[in-house]
Amino acid sequence: MSPAQPDSSSQTSNIPRQISISPTLPKKRQAKSRRNFDSQAFLATLGAGSKPVGFKTRQNIFAQGDPADSVFYIQTGNVKLTVVSKTGKEATIGILAEGDFFGEASLAGQPLRMGSATAMTDCVLLRIDKKAMIGALHRKHEFSDLFVAYLLARNIRYEEDLVDQLFNFSEKRLARILLLLAHFGKEGKPETVVPKISQEMLAEMIGTTRSRVSYFMNRFRKLGCIHYNGGLQVHSSLLNVVLHD
In tens, the pLDDT along 136-191 reads 999 999 999 999 999 999 889 888 888 888 888 899 999 988 888 887 755 555 56
Cα distance between residue 156 and residue 150, in whole Å: 10
| pLDDT tens for each residue of 211-237 | 999 999 999 999 999 988 777 888 888
Cα distance between residue 154 and residue 156, in whole Å: 5
Residue 47: CB partners within 8 Å, gap ≥ 6? 132
- DSSP per-residue string spanning 43-67: HGGGGGGEEEEEE-TT-EEE-TTSB
| pLDDT tens for each residue of 69-91 | 999 999 999 999 999 988 988 88
DSSP 139: H
Which of the residue ranges 24-28, 30-34, 149-153 has the most confident prediction, judged by mean pLDDT? 149-153
Would you say the pTM of this structure is higher than 0.75?
Answer: no
Which of the residue ranges 47-56, 190-199, 222-231 has the most confident prediction, judged by mean pLDDT? 47-56
Q: What is the pLDDT of residue 126?
A: 95
Whether residue 39 is predicted with pLDDT greater than 60 in this model: the reply is yes
Q: What is the pLDDT of residue 229?
A: 77
Mean pLDDT of 37-54: 87
- What's CA 213's distance to the chain center, in Å? 19
In 94-207, which ranges are continuous DSSP H helix? 130-139, 141-167, 170-181, 199-206
Whether residue 242 is predicted with pLDDT greater than 60 in this model: the reply is yes
Encode burial over 153-170: b for 16+ CB neighbours within 10 A, e otherwise: ebeebeebbeebeebbbb
Q: What is the pLDDT of residue 220?
A: 93
Alpha-carbon torsion angle 205, 92, 78, 171, nearest 10: -10
DSSP 105: G
Whether residue 64 is predicted with pLDDT greater than 50 in this model: the reply is yes
Whether residue 114 is predicted with pLDDT greater than 80 in this model: the reply is yes
Cα distance between residue 151 and residue 156, in whole Å: 9
Mean pLDDT rounded to a whole number for the chain: 81
Q: What is the pLDDT of residue 115?
A: 95
